[in-house]
C-alpha cells in the first residue's frame, strides 16, 4: 500500500520546496527553494529530518490534507494545524504532532507571514531534478510534476510510518515580524543612480504591492531617479538583488527570479535577511539600511548560530487540544485548598 498525503483542498500556490538547486544559474535555471529557508531548517529538526529535506510550502492559505499512511509526523510554521473530525483539535506552529491513517487536517490562513510550511518526517518520495526536489512552476519541473498541488493529488511519502517517540516543540520560536530595516549592501550598479536616489532609498519607507510572488516583490513609494539611464547590458541576478526599472520603483528578486537582467541594481539584500523579506505580504512596510560586506558576513554567521541554538533548544510538546497534561499535573493550580470536603457547606470561608 502506498504512503501518501492526499490533497483535499490545495490551498494557495502549494508546492514542494527544499533549499534549492544550486550551481545552475549559468544555464538559466533559477535556484528556487523555500522563500523562508530558516523555517524549513527548523521544522525539519522537529520531525527528525536533515535540515535540507523538502517540505510543503504554501502562500497565504494552507491546504487541507488526509493521511493515507499508517502514521505520519508533521510540523508547521506560519499557521496552526487544525485536525478535523470529532473531536476537532488545534495544534500551534513550531511543534511536532503524530497523526494516523484517515485523519484530515487543515493548515490555516497566515496572519503574519506570506508563506507557511509543512515538514513531514522522512520527507517526500519525489525525484530530484538537478539535485533538488524544489518546484519551479515557470519551468514545469521539480516537485510534483513541476506544478502547484491540486485537489485529488496524492503526495508520495518516503516513510511508511512515524517513528515511535515523544513530540517536541521549539522552546523559543523565531519571530515572524520583519526587522525595522532590511540590511542591504549597495550595488553592484549604485553608480547608475543619483545621490538623492540613494539617500531616498535608505531613508524613506516603501511598501510591498500586490505584484508579489515567488519571483519577486515590487515596491511602491518614492521613485528612484537614474543618473545614467535604466538599461544596462544584461548580467547575473542573485536572490535579494534590488532592480530598479524605468518606473523608478524597486523590485526585490526572490527564489524564482530570472538569472539575468538588464535593469541596474541599486543594492542587494544580505542573506541573513532574505527569509524576513520572503515572509512580507502585500501592504507590509519595508525600509532599508546599508551595511558593509563584512557586516553582512557577520550577520549571516549570527543567523547560523541562532538557527543552531533554536533547533537544539526543544521541550516536550503540548498534547491533544493544546493542553500539556504532564505540566498540568505537576502544578499546584489551587494554592491552599487540598480537599474539597474542607470547604464549609454554606460556601463561606
What's the pLDDT tens digit per position in 39-89? 999 999 999 999 999 999 999 999 999 999 999 999 999 999 999 988 999
Q: For 17, what's the count of Cα atoms within 13 Å in the CB-facing half-sphere?
A: 32
What does DSSP assign to residue 204?
S
Under a CB-based contact definition with an 8 Å cutoff, are residues 129 and 17 in contact? no
Give yes or no for residue 247 having a pLDDT over 70. yes
Instruction: Give CA 16 to chain center in angstroms.
Output: 12
Residue 2's pLDDT is 87
What integer pLDDT is reported at residue 338 of this predicted model? 39
Q: What is the mean pLDDT of the chain?
A: 92
Residue 258 C-beta-side C-alpha neighbours within 13 Å: 9
DSSP, collapsed to helix, strand or coil, labels residue 325 as: helix
- pLDDT greater than 70 at residue 245: yes
Measured distance CA(194)–CA(266) in Å, rounded: 10
Give the pLDDT confidence of 116-163 residue by residue, as tens digits: 999 999 999 999 999 999 999 999 999 999 999 999 999 999 999 999
108: confidence class by pLDDT, cuts 50, 70, 90: confident
The answer to whether 174 touches 310, Cβ cutoff 8 Å, is: yes
Residue-level pLDDT at 110: 87
Q: What is the pLDDT of residue 109?
A: 84
Cell 485529488, located at residue: 152
Residue of higher predicted confidence among 204 and 326: 204
Domains of the chain: 4-170 (no CATH), 182-303 (2.40.100.10)
Of 219-233, 256-270, 283-297, 317-331, the range with the lowest mean pLDDT is: 317-331
Write phi, then psi, for 131 (nearest 5 degrees). 80, 15
Instruction: Decide: 324 and 247 in contact? Cβ < 8 Å.
Output: no
Distance CA 72, CA 278 (A): 28
The neighbour count for residue 12, using CB atoms within 10 Å, is 14
Residues with Cβ within 8 Å of 334's Cβ and at least 6 positions away in sequence, in order, are none
Note whether 270 and 184 are within 8 A (CB).
Answer: yes
> Which helix (H) or strand (E) covers residue 57, if one does?
strand 55-59
What's residue 225's pLDDT? 98
More confident residue, 111 or 254: 254
**159-217 pLDDT per residue, tens:** 999 999 999 999 999 988 889 999 999 999 999 999 999 999 999 999 999 999 999 99
Q: For residue range 251-303, what is the model confidence (pLDDT) as tens digits?
A: 999 999 999 999 999 999 999 999 999 999 999 999 999 999 999 999 999 99
Which residues, 6 or more positions from 212, have their beta carbon under 8 angstroms from its beta carbon? 114, 218, 280, 281, 282
Question: DSSP secondary-structure letter at 103?
Answer: -
The confidence score (pLDDT) of residue 319 equals 60
**Residue 94 or residue 319, greater confidence:** 94
Amino acid at each position: 500500500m502506498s504512503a501518501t498525503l492526499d490533497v483535499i483542498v490545495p490551498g494557495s500556490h502549494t508546492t514542494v520546496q527544499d533549499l534549492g538547486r544550486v550551481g545552475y544559474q549559468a544555464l538559466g535555471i533559477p535556484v528556487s527553494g523555500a522563500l523562508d529557508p530558516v523555517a524549513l531548517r527548523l521544522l525539519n529538526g522537529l520531525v527528525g529530518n536533515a535540515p535540507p529535506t523538502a517540505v510543503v510550502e504554501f502562500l497565504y492559505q494552507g491546504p487541507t490534507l488526509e493521511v493515507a499512511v499508517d502514521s505520519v509526523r508533521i510540523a508547521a510554521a506560519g499557521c496552526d494545524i487544525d485536525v478535523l473530525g470529532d473531536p476537532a483539535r488545534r495544534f500551534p506552529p513550531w511543534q511536532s504532532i503524530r497523526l494516523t491513517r484517515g485523519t484530515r487536517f487543515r493548515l490555516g490562513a497566515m496572519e503574519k507571514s506570506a508563506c507557511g510550511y509543512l515538514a513531514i518526517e522522512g520527507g517526500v518520495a519525489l525525484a530530484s531534478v538537478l539535485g533538488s526536489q524544489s518546484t519551479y512552476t515557470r519551468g514545469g519541473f521539480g516537485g510534483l510534476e513541476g506544478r502547484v498541488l491540486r485537489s485529488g493529488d496524492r503526495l508520495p511519502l518516503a516513510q511508511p510510518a512515524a517513528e515511535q517517540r515523544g513530540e517536541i516543540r521549539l522552546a523559543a520560536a523565531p519571530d515572524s515580524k520583519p526587522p525595522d530595516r532590511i540590511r542591504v549592501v549597495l550595488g553592484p550598479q549604485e553608480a547608475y543612480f543619483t545621490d538623492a536616489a540613494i539617500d531616498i532609498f535608505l531613508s524613506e519607507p516603501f511598501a510591498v504591492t500586490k505584484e508579489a510572488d515567488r519571483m519577486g516583490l515590487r515596491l511602491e513609494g518614492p521613485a528612484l531617479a537614474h543618473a545614467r539611464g535604466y538599461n544596462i547590458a544584461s548580467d547575473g541576478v542573485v536572490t535579494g538583488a534590488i532592480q530598479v526599472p524605468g518606473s523608478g520603483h524597486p523590485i526585490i528578486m526572490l527564489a524564482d527570479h530570472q538569472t539575468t537582467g538588464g535593469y541596474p541594481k541599486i543594492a542587494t539584500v544580505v542573506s541573513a535577511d532574505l527569509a524576513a523579506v520572503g515572509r512580507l505580504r502585500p501592504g507590509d512596510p519595508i525600509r532599508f539600511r546599508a551595511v558593509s560586506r563584512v557586516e553582512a558576513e557577520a550577520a549571516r554567521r549570527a543567523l547560523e548560530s541562532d538557527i543552531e541554538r533554536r533547533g537544539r533548544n526543544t521541550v516536550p510538546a503540548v498534547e491533544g487540544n493544546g493542553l500539556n497534561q504532564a505540566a498540568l499535573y505537576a502544578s499546584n493550580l489551587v494554592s491552599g485548598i487540598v480537599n474539597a470536603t474542607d470547604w464549609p457547606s454554606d460556601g463561606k470561608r
